[in-house]
Copies of this chain bind each other. A is one copy, B any other.
Amino acid sequence: MHEIPKNHPRYKSLIFREKLVQGFRDGYVAIQGLIAHGRGECFDYLIGEKTLEPAIKSMKAAIAALLLAEKPVISVNGNIAALTPAEIVELADEVNAAIEVNLFYRTEDRAEKIAKILYEYGAKEVLGIKDATATIPELHSERRRVSPKGILKADVVLVPLEDGDRTEALRKLGKTVIAIDLNPLSRTARAANITIVDNVIRAMPKMIELAKEMKSLNKNELQSILNNYRNEEVLAEIINQIILRLTKLSSNVKTLVINP
């Protein structure tokens, strides 16, 4: 890894970029995952590289759905394994969710490497490796393969960094789908029941915090949070905040002035 100067104003973003690059070198992040990460960075700029208030609403609804679920599953791909492996394991613990590996560009080698990382971070069980024997309809190739103990039976699935096709396929199976996606206009964002428009590096720790707080709520309180949630309203709010931010910025573009 290259040394990133600690005083670089985008230090955190560059460190997470390095984590992804390391995941690619280690053979479990797909090269397409690197370009997808870049697209995410762009939308992170647009929301101001911070968690917006509507995203907190989505996270609360997401945690309510996960805590109320009979069989919640967190679906893991290469990018999320590289970026927040510890948080996946901790969140799964907090909400009693199973962890299942599902890859767009699946190879057994990549799946096994990701499982190994999750076990190193303390996962008790990682599904979707040897047991990806069931299939879900409307998806092509290897992505349709899921674990009969995991996604096949799940009622609520958290898919951080997922694509639109798969989100739609899971919805059509009647599952409640929670996505984390920085692009509020993406097919994933529009197909999920609950879309958290935030960077996973901020969203995952925040969701763990919320899970710890919300575990003390009773079922009625959780259900009420979930019932009052409107995904299309949240997406519209996010887009409006981006527009407001851009409007402010455009009325006041600060360029660098050098005094000679």
Contact = CB atoms under 8 A, between A and B. Distances in A.
Contact of A255 (B18, B231, B255, B260): B231
A31 B39 contact: no
A130 interface: no
- Interface of A, helix, strand, loop or mixed by DSSP: helix
- How many copies of the polypeptide does the oligomer hold? 2
Nearest to A37: B35
A167 to B, nearest CB: 8
Contact of A38 (B42, B184, B186, B232): B42
B174 A260 contact: yes
A3 B142 CA distance: 11
Interface residues of A, number: 63
A190 to B, nearest CB: 5
Interface in A220-246: 231-233, 235-236, 239-240, 242-243, 246
A9 B164 contact: yes
Given A8-B165, A246-B246, A235 B253 contact: yes
A5 B42 contact: no
Interface in A26-40: 31-32, 34-40
A45 interface: yes
B34 A31 contact: yes
Interface string A55-85: 0000000000000000000000000000000
Interface of A: 2-3, 5, 8-10, 17-18, 20-21, 24-25, 31-32, 34-43, 45-46, 105, 140-141, 164-165, 168, 171-172, 174, 183-187, 190-192, 231-233, 235-236, 239-240, 242-243, 246-247, 249-251, 253-256, 258, 260
Given A171-B258, A185-B250, 11 more contacts: A2-B105, A17-B35, A34-B35, A38-B41, A46-B185, A190-B255, A232-B255, A235-B253, A236-B253, A243-B243, A243-B250
